[in-house]
Every structure is written in C-alpha cells, then in structure tokens.
Amino acid sequence: MNKDSLIYGLFFGAIPFLIVVSKWRIDHLKFRKMESLYKKQLHCFTEIEEQKKEQKQKHLKNDAEQGDSIEYRLMNILMKDNRLRVRKICITGGPCAGKTTGLNYLAEKLKERGFSVYIVPEAATTLFMGGGMLDLDNYSAEGKMTFQMNLLNLQMKLEHCFNVLAMLCPPNKTPVMLCDRGLMDGKAYMDQNEWYEMIGKYNLEEVKLRDERYDAVVHMVTAADSTDCYSTLNNKARHETQQQALEMDHKTQSAWSGHPNLIKIDNHSVKSFNDKLDWLLREVLRILGHPIPQKEIGKTRQFYLEKDMKFENIQDEHQIIEIKKTYLIPKYKNCSLVLLQRKHEGRQQLYIKEKLFENDTMVKANIIKLDKNDFELFKQIKDPNYYEISIKKVCFTYEGQYIVVNEYVGSCQVIKIKNCKENQQIKFPPYVDQQGMEESNEKITARLFAKRFKNELGFQHRSNSDKYKFRKLSFTDDINEQAIKQDLEGFNLDQKGSDKNNQVPQPQQK
C-alpha cells in the first residue's frame, strides 16, 4: 500500500514538470519557426531592396543617356548659362615672360573662333605711362604702401569696367576677359605683413581675391629662366635685372599658389616662343570649354611618399585645401561628371566639373559654380561604382618649382610636379623625407583611387587608419592574396570610421 502510494505520488508530481517541458518545447519550435519565417522575409526584403537599387541605377543611366531627369535638365540649363557668363582669365608671370605678346595672340585667335574678347591693361604700366614711378626702392615704407593701395584700387576698377562692358556683348558670343596681371601680383612686390595690412584696410579676403575672382590663372615663366632672351628694351616700365626678374617670377608664382586652376607655362618644355604661345592658346581654349586637339606638353612626375609629410613642418609659404570629390553618372560615353567641394581657410566653394575624353586624353572641360541646393540635388545621381574620396591638398613653391602634395585620406601621400625637364634631377625641400620615395610610372588620379576604394571590402570603415597603405594595392594588377591579408591584419571591420575635422591654418605672415 505504501509502495503504490509512492508510485502514484511520483507520477502525479512529475506531471507539472512534463507540462512545463512540453510547453517549453512547443514555444521553442514556434520560435524557430518564426525565426525561419523572419529570415525568409528579411532575405526577400533585401532582395527587393537590391532589385529596387539596381532598377533605380538603371533608370538613372537611361535618364543620363536621354537627359530626362531633373538633375540632367538642370545641368543642361547651367551649361547654357555658363556659356553666356563672362570668363575672367588672368595672365601673369615674371618680367619679360611674353605676357603682352601672349595677350595679343590670344585675342586674335579667340576672335577667330567667335569669342568676344576684352583685354584689361596692366595697371602698373598704365600708371607708369601716366608719369608714376614703378621702382619701389625709391619710395619710403609709407610711400610703398600708398603706391600699392592705389595700384590695387586701379586694377579693381579696370576689371569692373571691362566686366560691365563684357556683359553687354551679343548673346550669340561668349565674353572673355583677359587680364594683364591680377590682384594677387601685388603680394610679390610687398612684404608679407604690409600685404595683409593693406588688404585689411580694404576689408578684402586673400582667398576671395585669389580663388574666386578669376576662372583661371596662367603663369608665364620669365625669359630670365633658362634662356638668353631676357631684355628690358621692349618695355620702358621694366627695370629689373635678370636675377631680380627670376626672383620676382618665383614670388609671383608663390602668390598665386592655391588657386584651383593655376597653370604654369615654362620655357624648357617648348622649343621656341611660338610653341609657348601655342601652349598658352591650348590652355585657354581648354579653360573656355572649347575642344582642342590632343597634344601633351611638358612632363608631369608623381612620387609616392613612404613616410607621410607633416604639413606643419613646411617652411615655405603654403596653402592647405580640403577637397571632396563625388563622381556622378555621366550623360554619355567618354564623359565624366564630378562634384567638387573645396574648403580653404574657412571658405567653401562648390562646383560641378564635366570632362570630355578622346582615347583617354581630355579634350574639353567645363567647370560650373553651384549653390548648396543644386549641389545636394546633383548628389542624387551619384555613381555607385565610385567611392566619395577626400583629399587634402598642399601647394607651395620651392626654388621656382610649383609643388603639390595630395594626401588621399586613409591611403597615402603623392607629390605631383608638372612641367619637369627631361631627365631632370628634382630638388626636393629638406622637409620632404625622400627615404623610400618611389616614382610612379602610371598616372595617379583621384578617379583611380575612388574606383579602387569602392572595390576594397570594408575600406570605408578603416579610412582613417594610419597603418593602412593603399599604394601597394591600388596600382598592381596581380594582387597577391597573402599580401592583402597582411595589410588587413589587425583591422576591426565592424568599427565605424570617423573623418577628422582638420582646421585649415590661416596664411602665414613671415
């Protein structure tokens, strides 16, 4: 009897436990079933989103080809308005560089192509021909300041008058202003402190004077550099010796360093002065968006820096510009569209740039300034095949050579030097560490980096790592998988990268 009671007690006592276990099992199966259903739904949702994305990109490409979307219609309107806008091109350089001859040659050739050309005379020569004395050594410190202030004032008024006249030209012609020197030329003839004091009295900003006033600045190198043709006989206002002319050329080039479209035309890249004039014409036609024949003048050399340059160690006067490039879906083949966001000393400039190519050589370019709303609108047609790339650009002049250092954020630094002589031994500044420096035989462009960055898995999550160097992966066709694993070692792909907000230093006053 006691044994049966014990059995019954155990049986009825186990019933609640069995009920709990059964309920847990049933709940677990329900959860697994719901989880499986949720994963299927999530997978379907992901596939639908990918299909929508592909369909959207397909529609964008079709719109690009047909020009039907609002972004491309806006671009067509901007391009049309851009043709009617007055283009301002500053022709500058050292004494006896061929500026006057070049201006007359440009005016003749541009008029033949249907442009309406206006030449703004050099303010300094105008003052001299009216009786003013240009030799600043004969002035006191206060006299120099007074002379330069009046020179700057005259230059601004001349440009304003010709700009008003250019706006009255017939609508079927594109107005072009060719300025014989520009406002920044005065900086080359003044002490740094005096220059900043002067523009401060006028409430002027150096960045605005240099970067926003002229569509392009063409620097023609003086004949005092590498030639025996330097002379003061063809210009009564010229009084500099050959050495002084060369120094003024270097200072003038330094004054314009940082302009978004600074072009240097030297003497050693051409065989004759006529070739120099032809080079000048080709550059101006490219600036105006006029198709030009394919011809490469001068040699551009690019070097990878093994050890990154610290920009605060640069001893020469320099400009630091932050650039962000967003590549857009082009309207047609052999064309590229890119949005440019340019920040310099607290000022921001927004552009859209269109380039046309023939056999991988650019033959035409159009640059249009944008407001913030249009800039955000164009981002809707961003090309998914390219990464939005950030570049920190440093420009300076060292011994007459214009040097640009491009730091591709998260990758490497590249030194770019244009118009190099054949087999020239380049003199690098002492603050550039040449250890491990490697010259690239391929053309290095932001577009190439943007393409490779997009293809690299998880690059956006480690874009600020100082350890990761892209140089070995970006330009080698046969990439070794083992090398990739070594380069990726130690990276946490789940962590989020954050861009560093580096403030651009103000102009150095030496």
Q: What is the CATH number for 118?
A: 3.40.50.300
Do 101 and 230 fall within a single domain?
Answer: yes
Mean pLDDT, the chain, integer: 76
Residue type, 442: E
Do 126 and 193 fall within a single domain?
Answer: yes
Mean pLDDT in residue range 150-165? 90
Q: Is the pLDDT of residue 62 over 70?
A: no
The reply to whether 114 falls in a domain is yes
Q: Is the pLDDT of residue 508 over 60?
A: no
Inter-residue contact 427 to 298 (CB < 8 Å): no
Do 179 and 237 fall within a single domain?
Answer: yes
The reply to whether 377 falls in a domain is yes
DSSP 72-124: HHHHHHHHHHHHHSPEEEEEEESTTSSHHHHHHHHHHHHHHTT-EEEEEPPHH
| Domain that residue 196 falls in | 85-296
Do 352 and 223 fall within a single domain?
Answer: no
Do 281 and 139 fall within a single domain?
Answer: yes
Do 313 and 436 fall within a single domain?
Answer: yes
Classify 362 as helix, strand or coil.
strand
Do 262 and 343 fall within a single domain?
Answer: no
Which of 365, 369, 377 lies closest to 348 in space, CA to CA? 369
What's the farthest any 2 CA atoms get from each other in the chain? Answer: 138
How far is the C-alpha of 307 from the C-alpha of 290, rounded, in Å? 41
Do 308 and 393 fall within a single domain?
Answer: yes
More reliable by pLDDT, 178 or 146: 178
Which of 416, 90, 426, 401 lies closest to 249 in space, CA to CA? 401
* Among candidate residues 280, 296, 312, the one where a domain is terminated: 296
Do 323 and 221 fall within a single domain?
Answer: no
Query: So what's the pLDDT on residue 21?
Result: 75
The terminus-to-terminus CA distance of the chain in angstroms comes to: 111
Do 247 and 224 fall within a single domain?
Answer: yes
* Among candidate residues 389, 417, 443, the one where a domain is terminated: 443
The reply to whether 70 falls in a domain is no
Q: How far is CA 116 from the centre of its chain?
A: 29
The reply to whether 337 falls in a domain is yes
CB burial of 184-196 (b: ≥16 within 10 Å; e: otherwise) equals: bbbbbbbeeebbb
Confidence of residue 219 (pLDDT cuts 50, 70, 90): very high
Which of 420, 117, 182, 124 lies closest to 297 in space, CA to CA? 420
Do 397 and 430 fall within a single domain?
Answer: yes
Q: What is the CATH number of the domain that holds 403?
A: 2.40.320.10
Inter-residue contact 474 to 495 (CB < 8 Å): no
Query: So what's the pLDDT on residue 498?
Result: 36
Which of 402, 329, 327, 334 lies closest to 365 in space, CA to CA? 334
Do 347 and 278 fall within a single domain?
Answer: no
* Among candidate residues 255, 279, 296, the one where a domain is terminated: 296
**What digits encode the pLDDT tens for the residues 387-439?**
888 999 988 888 777 888 998 887 788 888 887 766 677 888 888 888 888 88
Could you tell me which residues are beta bridge partners of residue 365? 355
How far is the C-alpha of 417 from the C-alpha of 419, rounded, in Å? 7
- Rg, the chain, Cα only: 31
Inter-residue contact 271 to 228 (CB < 8 Å): no
How many distinct structural domains can be found in the chain?
Answer: 2
The reply to whether 37 falls in a domain is no
**What digits encode the pLDDT tens for the residues 253-295?**
989 988 888 988 888 778 888 888 988 998 898 888 777 765 6
The reply to whether 310 falls in a domain is yes
Confidence of residue 2 (pLDDT cuts 50, 70, 90): low
The reply to whether 327 falls in a domain is yes
